[in-house]
Amino acid sequence: MANSLVFKDYIVFIFYFIVVACYGYWIYNRKKKASTDTKDFFLAEGSLTWWAIGASLIASNISAEQFVGMSGDGYFIGIGIAVYEWLAALSLVIIAVWFIPVYLKNKIYTMPQFLTRRYNETVALIMAVFWLFLYVFVNLTSILYLGSVAINGLAGGQYLHIIMIGLAVFALIITLGGMKVIGYTDVIQVAVLIIGGIATTYLALSIVGERLGGGSSVIEGFKTLMEKAPDHFHMILPKPDETTPQVEVDKYLILPGIAMYFAGQWIVNLNYWGCNQYITQRALGADLKTARRGLIFASFLKLFMPVIVMLPGIAAFVLHKNGELEHLIGGKDGAYSAILAFLPSGLKGLSIAALTAAIVASLAGKANSISTIYVLDIHKKYFNKAADERKMVNIGRITVIVAMIIAIIFTWNDSLGIGGKGGFTFIQKYTGFISPGVFAMFILGMFWKRTTGAAAIAGVITGFLLSIIFNNYAPEWFGTETWLYTAYKNSAGIYEIPFLLSMGYSFFFTVALMVIMSLLGPKVNPKAFEHDKKMFKVEPSTLALIMVILIILSLLYVRFW
């Protein structure tokens, strides 16, 4: 593919870069305390407003796996993939009402710290190591790879490694300034990614309407999508039978119909938004009122994210199906880049800036979380207990650099096979290996006083092992059709259980084991948290916003069920 960028695109992108860099530098200079204070560097303690928290949550969450990966799954499956965004909106409401008050009342700054206070040091250390490996080898690598592939496709297809290094360096510049710089630059990043994303979707729908429909309006384009690809506008996929085509079976393996709502889909969302250092870190330095408003603001934004991260993929499917998108390359993960190639000069630069904003914000947030966990929960406890504030911040910066270098090494030739699995599915599947045990440990630890430390250790190990068994060995060991599950043959001819159902089975068995073990212990664990009913009470204005979110979500499901 020839370089499809022109001078206007470069100007728009450079302008975006200068604005973000200058604003970040200004924020950094306003409070240089962040260079020596650990809580300020890692948490921006008390300095983020509700809108900064909400914007930072979205900017850190919406990255290459959404723009590229989710758009790719929109191309392959359709609107059903929006479940990750729409249930995230509801999950954020649950986190705001019930999870955040527990963290803030007990002055929790990191997730391993929660585990130390509620259980013991052993549980915290095990999970700190788990999280570090997950963040570096799954999240950083996938974000970097997918983002590089997408931008490289627009830049001519010959600059993958240069773009990869450029994204990593850009993220490092922001990350080394601390969480306050990340949080406030994320406000610009989320504005850019939303504006650029809307522009991309607008023009994609206009092209569909003009070339395949009755006019170039957005409404006409959306109607054309629904007419040309009606199978792409259903949230619930039917369960396959012996006559189901292989392509439909492959879709079901990713989104197993209504069954996933009783299994892994909730675990994915609640664990990600409520038990994940990378996300909760934004709210842990604020007071309860500010944190809640930030989470609710993020929830509201989440309802509209499928418009910019999924619809372009469906548009690419319809155009490609009707012979209008011959430059689609790289399988389903090439759908977003193919749509961007249609954009006029200037707007193409804006869309690349939006994609870059999403990638850099996520890389920066993830890198900061890696350094926070390593410094506060491993280095300070086990390597240098006497380290002062300045030294810990410096160690945090070194950790960020090392993590990014490791990510580049493993992304360089896609040694982890991210491209082959599909970016979004890769992240969800491998994150799901530890999600059941982690979520079981957190939810029982928060709200059941009897949960013991021994049960927590057994739970996280059992959840991990069961995830491996259900995902890789169960069909071979126990058969493809049992009272518990049905395994389906994938496109490679191998039987597998839908990973969201595997996650649900792992979670329920893990919870059962933890409950049994805890019942053998004391009636109340001495380290259990004390709850005050008042801390779960929400203000009338917040309650009204929650009701609006629930109404919109209900209408979406009624329309696209």
Which band of pLDDT confidence, cut at 50, 70 and 90, is reported for residue 1?
very low
For residue 66, what are the contacts with CB-CB under 8 A and spacing of at least 6?
305, 309, 358, 424
> For the segment 69-89, what is each residue's pLDDT rounded down to a tens digit?
788 888 888 898 888 899 999
Does residue 40 carry a pLDDT above 80? no
pLDDT of residue 477: 92
For residue 491, what are the contacts with CB-CB under 8 A and spacing of at least 6?
246, 247, 250
* Number of other CB atoms surrounding residue 90 within 10 Å: 20
Better pLDDT: 29 or 318? 318
* Number of other CB atoms surrounding residue 137 within 10 Å: 16
Which band of pLDDT confidence, cut at 50, 70 and 90, is reported for residue 97?
very high
Contact criterion met (CB below 8 Å) for 76 and 251: yes
Category of 241 on φ-ψ map: left (φ > 0), alpha (ψ -120 to 50) or beta: beta
pLDDT of residue 8: 80
> For the segment 163-180, what is each residue's pLDDT rounded down to a tens digit?
888 888 878 876 766 656
Does residue 466 carry a pLDDT above 90? yes
Does residue 141 carry a pLDDT above 90? no
Contact criterion met (CB below 8 Å) for 357 and 59: yes
Helix (H, G, I), strand (E, B) or coil at 488: strand
pLDDT of residue 42: 54
Q: What is the mean pLDDT of the chain?
A: 82
Alpha-carbon distance values, 111 to 84, 347, 384, 420, 434 (Å): 23, 41, 20, 32, 14
DSSP states along 370-410: HHHHHIIIIIIIII-TT--HHHHHHHHHHHHHHHHHHHHHH
As a whole number, mean pLDDT of residues 201-208 equals: 86
Which band of pLDDT confidence, cut at 50, 70 and 90, is reported for residue 45?
low
What is the 3-class SS of 8-36, one letter each residue?
HHHHHHHHHHHHHHHHHHHHHHHCHHHHC
Question: Distance between CA atoms of 343 and 332, rounded to whole angstroms?
Answer: 19
Question: Cβ-count burial of 464 within 10 angstroms (0-12 exposed, 13-18 middle, 19+ buried)?
Answer: buried
pLDDT of residue 374: 87
pLDDT of residue 421: 54
For residue 294, what are the contacts with CB-CB under 8 A and spacing of at least 6?
48, 49, 50, 51, 52, 53, 54, 57, 282, 283, 286
Percent of the chain predicted with pLDDT > 70: 86
pLDDT of residue 280: 76
Q: Rounded to 5 degrees, what are φ and ψ at 113?
A: -65, -40
Question: Distance between CA atoms of 70 and 66, rounded to whole angstroms?
Answer: 4
Listed in sequence order, the DSSP H helices in 213-236 are 218-228
Q: Is residue 452 within a helix (H) or strand (E), and if so which, with residue range?
A: none
Does residue 151 carry a pLDDT above 50? yes
* Number of other CB atoms surrounding residue 208 within 10 Å: 27
Residue 171 half-sphere exposure, CB side, CA atoms within 13 Å? 33
Which band of pLDDT confidence, cut at 50, 70 and 90, is reported for residue 65?
low
Beta bridge partners of 496: 488
Q: Rounded to 5 degrees, what are φ and ψ at 488?
A: -120, 150
Report residue 301 as tokens: 């934004």
Torsion sign over Cα 13, 15, 19, 22: positive
- The Cα angle at residue 351 between residues 350 and 352, in degrees rounded to 5: 90
DSSP-derived secondary structure letter, 69: I
Structural domains in the chain, CATH included, are: 7-415 (1.20.1730.10)
Helix (H, G, I), strand (E, B) or coil at 496: strand
Q: Estimate the share of the chain in helix, then strand, then coil, as percent rounded to the nearest 5.
A: 75, 0, 25
Question: Distance between CA atoms of 139 and 360, rounded to whole angstroms?
Answer: 13
> For the segment 357-407, what is each residue's pLDDT rounded down to a tens digit?
777 777 877 888 888 888 888 888 878 777 777 788 888 888 888 988 998
pLDDT of residue 110: 77
One-letter identity of residue 69: G
> For the segment 403-421, what is each residue's pLDDT rounded down to a tens digit?
889 988 888 877 766 665 5
Contact criterion met (CB below 8 Å) for 312 and 168: no
- What pTM, to 2 d.p., does this model score? 0.82
Where do the DSSP E strands lie in 348-483? Answer: none
As a whole number, mean pLDDT of residues 333-344 equals: 74
Report residue 480 as tokens: 């493809």
Question: Distance between CA atoms of 132 and 111, rounded to whole angstroms?
Answer: 12
Top-confidence range, 198-202, 232-236, 433-437: 232-236
pLDDT of residue 2: 44
End-to-end CA distance of the chain: 39
As a whole number, mean pLDDT of residues 319-324 equals: 79
pLDDT of residue 156: 66
> For the segment 481-515, what is each residue's pLDDT rounded down to a tens digit?
998 888 999 888 889 999 889 999 999 999 999 99
Report residue 136 as tokens: 């570096």
For residue 166, what are the contacts with CB-CB under 8 A and spacing of at least 6?
none
> For the segment 241-290, what is each residue's pLDDT rounded down to a tens digit?
888 888 888 889 888 988 888 888 899 889 888 888 767 777 777 788 88
Question: Cβ-count burial of 105 within 10 angstroms (0-12 exposed, 13-18 middle, 19+ buried)?
Answer: middle
Helix (H, G, I), strand (E, B) or coil at 481: strand
Q: Is residue 55 within a helix (H) or strand (E), and if so which, with residue range?
A: helix 50-61
Kindly compute the dihedral angle of the four CA atoms of residues 544, 298, 231, 336, in this order, to the nearest 10 degrees: 150
Does residue 41 carry a pLDDT above 90? no
Q: Rounded to 5 degrees, what are φ and ψ at 421?
A: -85, -20
Does residue 337 carry a pLDDT above 60? yes
Category of 439 on φ-ψ map: left (φ > 0), alpha (ψ -120 to 50) or beta: alpha
As a whole number, mean pLDDT of residues 96-109 equals: 88
Question: Distance between CA atoms of 119 and 125, rounded to whole angstroms?
Answer: 11
Question: Distance between CA atoms of 310 and 80, rounded to whole angstroms?
Answer: 10
